[in-house]
Structures are given as C-alpha cells and as structure tokens.
Structure 1
Amino acid sequence: MSEEMTAEKARAAAWFRQLRDDIVAAFEGLEDSHAEGPFAEAEPGRFEVTTTKRTSEDGSDAGGGLMSVMRGGRVFEKVGVNVSEVYGVLGEAAQSSMAARGVPGIEEDPRFWASGISLVAHMQNPHVPAVHMNTRMFWTPNAWWFGGGSDLNPCLEYEEDTGHFHATQKAHLDPHGEGEYPRLKAWADEYFYIPHRHRARGVGGIFMDDQNSGSWEADFALTQDIGRAFLPAFVPLVEKRRGMDFGEAEKDAQLVHRGLYAEYNLVYDRGTKFGLATGHDANAVLMSLPPMAKWV
C-alpha cells in the first residue's frame, strides 16, 4: 500500500458520498409518506444543499464538502447530512492532541487527509427519537484509521425501540466477529457520556475511533457495515412513532433533552472540536445543534 493511499482515499470518499445519497433519499421518502397524524398537513420537507469549503491558514484551498439540511418538514424539524473531504497541514493544537493519542510521526510530518459523513436528526414529534451517525477515514503520512458509529437519543424512551436499534447494529457487526458489537457498544457507552450531568446523552449505540487493525480492507468493511446498519435501525422507529399524538408535556421533555444534546456536542464531541480547530465551515460543523432547546 502506497504512502499516499490514493486509491483507498477515493474509495472511502465515494462510499461516504453514496451513503449520504441513500440517507437523503430515504429521509425525503419519510416526508412524502407521512399522511396521518401531527404535521401530516404540512408540506413535505426537502434538503437544501450547500457546498462547503475549508481554507488553510495560508488561504489556499483545502477541500470541502456538501452540507444538506432539511428544516420544518412533516417528520424532521431539523436534520443535517454532511459529507466532506478535507486536507492540508494540522495546526499545533491538533498535532499535540493526536500525538497524545499515539498517532506516530504527526509532529514531524503534520500533513493530513480526512473524509466522512456526519448526520444528526431532530424530530418534529417527541415520540420519535433524535439520532446521530457518522463514519470517517483519517490519513497522515505515517498512519491511517477509521472511526464513527451511531447512537439513539430519545426524550421519551420505548424499550422496544432501543432493543430494535441495538439488535440491528449487532446483526450488521456480527459478521466481523462476535466481539465487535460488545466492543463498540461499550465504547459508545463511554464516549456518549456527559460527565457534568452524570448521565448518558441517550440510550447508546456503537462507536469506534482510531480503528486500525493492520488491514485497511477489513476496517473499511467494518466501517461500511456501521453505515449500512443505520437506515434499518432507525427508519422503522420513525414509521412507528411519527403519527402519535403528543401534548405540551411531551414537547417540553423534548426541548429539555435537546439542551442536554447541545451541551455534549459543544463541550465534549471530538468531531466538533476538530472541525472548528482545523478551519472547516462553522455552519457545517455546528449543523448538529437543535433548532430549539430548553434548559431548566
């Protein structure tokens, strides 16, 4: 495998873009098919697509991506599905952070390339859970790795929904070894924890980072199946709950839970910190924030 990994980068970036296209089509399909219940009389939502650009410190082009956001639909109050492919030289803070994580040679040669997909959905109906998903590949001249996962964030939990979400992820991960789902579930439980609230931000899912088993093909296949698990894990929950009636108490619970979600993303989320520190489009980085939230 060459130092530059040109072919591998192209395959990964193409996969993230295809996954984005599949999810956008599925979500717009949910908007079209919602015919009964709250918000059914509204116009079906559509994604607004914006090209994003990253500029390096010297002002030169450093890649970018697509930011796709839907607001005020029948089913989705705000959902973003972003893809990016960025490159350049890491700043000193990012170099130090990665060196502390054990990335070899990053301070001697701080060039990097990264591509991925990032999704956050905040729903109109509080009975429908919010959800997050991302997968990514990162490259430096001396290392490469994959990361990402998905987790469910209901404000009103239904145990059968949580069970379906986790069972679907397990089914997609089991072909990679019986230990993969427990490993990634435990990692998600640790990563999506909010220390200052002494609680998890949701009901968990799967997560990994710095994934390099020594086999790029095996790790790419694992990353793809994390992505493939998303729609069958989430869409049935939307279809089951989107027509349920709700009142002020349920909406209030949703807004309070969104405040919790915002706290996590602004204080702890590694992707948010990296995106802002490396000069990526701030609107794309902060796409994950809810349209409305509440603190008590």
Structure 2
Amino acid sequence: MQPTPPSSALALQAQALVHDLQRQLVEALEALQPGAARFQPVEWLRDEGRHGGGVRYIAPEGGAFNRASVNVSTIHYGDLPDKKLSSATALSAIVHPAQPRAPSMHMHISWTQLRDGSGYWRMMADLNPSIEDPEAAEAFGAALAAAAPEHYAEAKAQGERYFYIPALKRHRGVSHFYLEGHDSGDWSADEALARRVGEATVRTYTGLVAAALSAHPTIDEDDRRRQLAYHTLYLFQVLTLDRGTTSGLLIHDQNDAGIMGSLPSHVDRALLASWAPRLPAPQDQLLRSLISVLPDASPCPIGPEQKLALAQAVREHYRTHPDALALQARGDALPPTVENHR
C-alpha cells in the first residue's frame, strides 16, 4: 500500500524539494564509506496511507555511523475539513557518526499549509559535536550565513534560544540555525531559501565529516567516553525539551520508531539519572520515567524496544501534565503544531 499524495500544488512542490534533499544527503553519507552497505528505506503509513506517510533511510549497523536517519513525510487531511491543517511536508534528518571526532548534525526543512491556504516554512540546521572543533563550527555557520544572508542573524539567535538546556547551562550544539513560521509572501523565494539552507547543510556537513574521518582513522577510548557523555546529553535534550519530538508523539503513534530515529545507540544511564535533581517539576518525573524503561547497563543500549518505550513514556507524561509543555524549548514564535492536527 502506498501513501496517498496531498492535493495541494504547493504541498507537492514542497514534497519534491524534501525528497531531493533526502536523496542528496543519503548519497553524500553513503559516499563517506564506499563499499559499505547502503542506507535502507523504511516506509510508514498514516491511517493506512489515507492521510499520507513517509519513508526514512537508516544507516546500516557497524559502519561509519553510530546512528543516522533521514526522514521525509507528508501528512494531509483533504477528507477531514474540520481540521485546521491541510498538509505538512517535512524532511527531518539526524546523523551521529561512529567516530567521536566527527560531529553529529540535525536538519529539518518543512512546509505547513493550513486549511485557509496560508502556510509557513520551518528551517533548522545545527552542528552537534561530541568534541568541539571551533574551525568546524565556524565553517558550518559561515555556510548557513552565505545560504541565508538576510535571515542568518535571526536564525542564529532563535537557534541558540531553542537549543539551550537550562538544567545543564549549555547549548546542545555549537552552531544553530532556526527559522520558524517563515513566510515572506513570495512562496518561490521561500522555497529557494529552504533549498539553499538544505543544500548548504548537506554539502558543508558531509565535508566536515569526511575531513574528520581522514584525520582520525581510529577511535581513541577517551574520545569514545566523551562521545557517550555527549550522546547522553543529546538524548536528554530531545526527550525533555524538544518540542518537535513531543509534538510528533502527541499527534499520533504510527511512526514512533521514526520519530525516535534521532537517538544515539548508547547512553550513560547513571549520568542521565544524575541530572534529574536539576530539573523543575514535573520534568524530573519525566526523566525518571524515561530512565525506568532503560536497561541497567553501562553503556546503556537504545534499541528498537527502548525507543518505543521512551516514546510512550513521553506521550504519557504530557497527557498527564499538559501544562509541562510550557517548559519545552521554543523560539520567539511558538508553532501550534499539535493544535493544527486537531
């Protein structure tokens, strides 16, 4: 069974864009490990395809990537006129290289179209190293500034606000770009901006990883420990702060494995537990609920079973404590993502 396409011409154009960016990123990542197994597609359907679905490409086990997932989805409600949302089309990608000296990266490009025909873009790109390299951070930021010169200052400020972790008094990454609710009134210009941001991210990031892999052909054990600590921080931010992750889990439960595709393969369970006292109520309860579904192992694996259990723990927490959504990450603009799907 195939997902049905959206009826909107703009949604179809946005879908073509994100599929092209998905192709570019997957091909560039595969080129980093020539001769290795290719990324594998995994499809999912929303309401058996009636309301769309998507496909994610995931990295094979044991290669150059600890975890990598490049997701594209389109959700539409053409047969449900009472919903505020007409369609939502998105690329969401996360890459965690196996080499600790190669940085992780997150990218999100999406077009949301409402029932009244209005719509907006969301564009995110952020560099997330386990071991910081100032030159890599500068190169990543410079590429995004060149791709979006008129918007970079705003996007950088919004990204630094969104990806700040108050409990740990630090940011998730070192270079952050975030445009929310972007609509200049010129759809073609906005689409071109989204393409430039996406292509600059793909090109620059894969170049940085290639350089890191060339400079560091082996993995140092101390570097591996630092990577495990950073991956723990990454999971902590995604599951206790990231509004996009939570929104996806609250809207439906038909792609939990895909939504949890951003999580690294292992974390430090004890380190994660040590952060609970730093969180305000009821987020301390959320973190303890998350830890309770993880194996008591060091390092602690985050496999398919754990991903689904973590997704359900997040979902149950915000259903019990809906006011806690106010404690999640945000920029100046707060997207009504969950409300749009009702």
What TM-score do you get using the length of structure 2 for normalisation?
0.71
Q: In structure 2, what is the Cα distance between the partners aligned to 1:276 and 1:45?
A: 30
2:175 corresponds to 1:204: yes
Which of the numbers 39, 42, 47 marks the counterpart of 1:50?
42
* 3-state SS of paired residue (1:81): strand
Which of the numbers 23, 46, 51 marks the counterpart of 1:62?
51
* 3-state SS of paired residue (1:61): coil
* 3-state SS of paired residue (1:137): strand
Could you give the per-residue CA deviations for residues 147-178 of structure 1, whole angstroms, max 9, x where no partner exists?
0221001111111111111111111112xx3x
Residues 51 and 67 in structure 1, CA contact (< 8 A), matched pair in contact too: yes
Q: In structure 1, what is the Cα distance between the partners aligned to 2:264 and 2:51?
A: 28
Q: In structure 2, what is the Cα distance between the partners aligned to 1:146 and 1:158?
A: 30
Which of the numbers 233, 253, 272 marks the counterpart of 2:226?
253
* 3-state SS of paired residue (1:229): helix
User: Unpaired segments of 5 or more residues in structure 2?
Assistant: 1-5, 272-342
Counterpart residue number, 2:26: 24
Which of the numbers 250, 257, 270 marks the counterpart of 1:283?
257
CA RMSD for the aligned pairs?
2.1
Residues 163 and 176 in structure 2, CA contact (< 8 A), matched pair in contact too: no
Could you give the per-residue CA deviations for residues 165-220 of structure 1, whole angstroms, max 9, x where no partner exists?
1111111112xx3xx11111111111111122121001022111111222222222
1:55-94 equivalences in 2 (<5 Å)? 55=47, 61-88=50-77
Counterpart residue number, 2:288: none
Count of equivalent residues: 260
1:230-269 equivalences in 2 (<5 Å)? 230-243=201-214, 244=216, 245-269=218-242
Higher relative contact order (CA 8 A, sep 6+): 1
Could you give the per-residue CA deviations for residues 64-121 of structure 1, whole angstroms, max 9, x where no partner exists?
00021113343212100010011239xxxxxxxxxxxxxxxx9x75233101111101
* 3-state SS of paired residue (2:204): helix
Q: Which amino acid in the other structure matches residue 67 of structure 2? A: K
Q: In structure 1, what is the Cα distance between the partners aligned to 2:110 and 2:30?
A: 24
Which of the numbers 195, 218, 222 marks the counterpart of 1:224?
195
Counterpart residue number, 1:182: 153
Counterpart residue number, 2:16: 14
User: In the TM superposition, what is the alpha-carbon distance from 1:262 to its structure 2 partner?
Assistant: 0.7
Give me the identity figure in percent.
29
What TM-score do you get using the length of structure 1 for normalisation?
0.82
* 3-state SS of paired residue (2:184): coil
Residues 67 and 96 in structure 2, CA contact (< 8 A), matched pair in contact too: yes
1:121-200 equivalences in 2 (<5 Å)? 121-142=95-116, 143-174=118-149, 177=150, 180-200=151-171
Q: In structure 1, what is the Cα distance between the partners aligned to 2:40 and 2:19?
A: 16
